[in-house]
Amino acid sequence: MWKVEKEFSIRLGGNTYIDTPNLIVYQGTPIFRVRRNEDDGMLGIDFEVFDSMGQRVATFKKGIVAQGDQANYGIDTGHETYSVTERSSGRLIARVQRRGVQEAELDVQVHMYLPNRFLLDAGPLATNLGGAVIAGNVFKSCDAGIAIG
């Protein structure tokens, strides 16, 4: 059984989120949902990946790719790292690394759109949101790390 987690550390887009259940919230809706497996203690993250037209191209459940458009996107599912890559450009769209992450339980990178076509670019070093660059921050015990209106 998976439960909503209260104690965790995740790296997302060059920032660290500690005990912050809503990493990024867009117009009042959390983009990422964090849960922990009660049996083995593994931390997981759920989120939807959309393209520039607002079409869902992949779904991450419990930190792994549960569904994806394999015709247009390469889906890699390994023991430690799960990713979605755009076939036409070779661009990494989403990646979750579950083991071997320093100072965090998960490392997450995304270059994806939200359903309304807002670009969320959270790469390995920084998060870019509408011209603002957010990097090297630690969000601890916040209701929402980043809230976008």
Return the pLDDT at 138.
96
Would strands 144-148 and 22-26 be described as parallel, antiparallel, or unpaired?
parallel
Task: Give 46: exposed, middle or buried? Use CB within 10 Å, 0-12, 13-18, 19+.
Answer: middle
All residues at 6 or more sequence positions from 18 whose CB lies less than 8 Å from its CB, including other chains:
8, 9, 138, 139, 140, 141
CB atoms within 10 A of CB 56: 13
Express each pLDDT in 53-79 by its tens digit.
989 999 999 898 999 999 999 999 888
- Measured between alpha carbons, how far is 102 from 42 in angstroms, rounded to an integer? 16
Q: How confident is the model at residue 131 (pLDDT cuts 50, 70, 90)?
A: confident
Mean pLDDT of 28-41: 89
19: pLDDT strictly greater than 90 = yes
Query: pLDDT exceeding 70 applies to what percent of the chain?
Result: 98
Mean pLDDT of 72-96: 94
